[in-house]
Structure 1
């Protein structure tokens, strides 16, 4: 039996994510990250298997930036003032674009890119109480409402 593709599992709905899917286009699926309970940490995953910007077809290219802008505007409306953007090309199959909010509590880990990994690990290991996960789900619901209704 082959290795299960996590992104395919999420995009298809076979694996749930905290707060459910945020929005979906013909070519992309946006959801709260499954590993790090940071409110508003959005993963934009391609539906098609590819790894890099240079592998995007014309339709993906045309959909991508407007979708990112729409999500970022929604993040702003829920009080997220700053975001780090990441993607890596050393994945197995899927293009995943990370939109990582910068919260005041992250300042203790430094500023800029070097602070992101320790902040995410801290969130995963120290911020997963029932109350904190509930807030992540509430933020996801607010984002979904904004993304759906404008």
Structure 2
């Protein structure tokens, strides 16, 4: 079992975070965005993803095309510097909008 701290500060102890999410043991902030027979989407539980996307836009995508590890600084910045109440509210609003649109 591994202890994992989520972006909301909650610590969970799970063997596999992906399994815990898809089986409902761990509930992502904002819930499931959409789930179909072949697709499952939720807010990233470790990083406030809406800000990552904005940061990528500011970078003009220049970090894409390198290894996956090249996005780690962006993820850590979002988790450590952009995880305040105001930003979390924006993330939750974005989740709600996306969930509504995808489930029409």
Q: TM-score under structure 2 normalisation?
A: 0.69
Q: Which runs of 5+ in 2 are unaligned?
A: 3-13
Structure 1 runs (4+) greater than 4 angstroms displaced: none
Q: Point out which structure has higher relative CO (alpha carbons under 8 A, 6+ apart).
A: 1
Aligned residues: 89
> Structure 2 CA distance, aligned partners of 1:146 and 1:13?
22
Greater share of strand residues, 1 or 2?
A: 1
1:64-123 deviations in whole A, cap 9, x for unaligned? Answer: xxxxxxxxxxxxxxxx79xxxxxxxxxxxxxxxxxxx8332xx29x82235522111100
The residue that corresponds to 2:95 in the other structure is: 140
After superposition, the CA RMSD in angstroms is 3.0
1:130 is the counterpart of 2:85: yes
Corresponding residue to 1:102 among 56, 59, 70: 56
Q: Which runs of 5+ in 1 are unaligned?
A: 42-79, 82-100
Corresponding residue to 1:112 among 50, 57, 63: 63
Q: TM-score under structure 1 normalisation?
A: 0.50
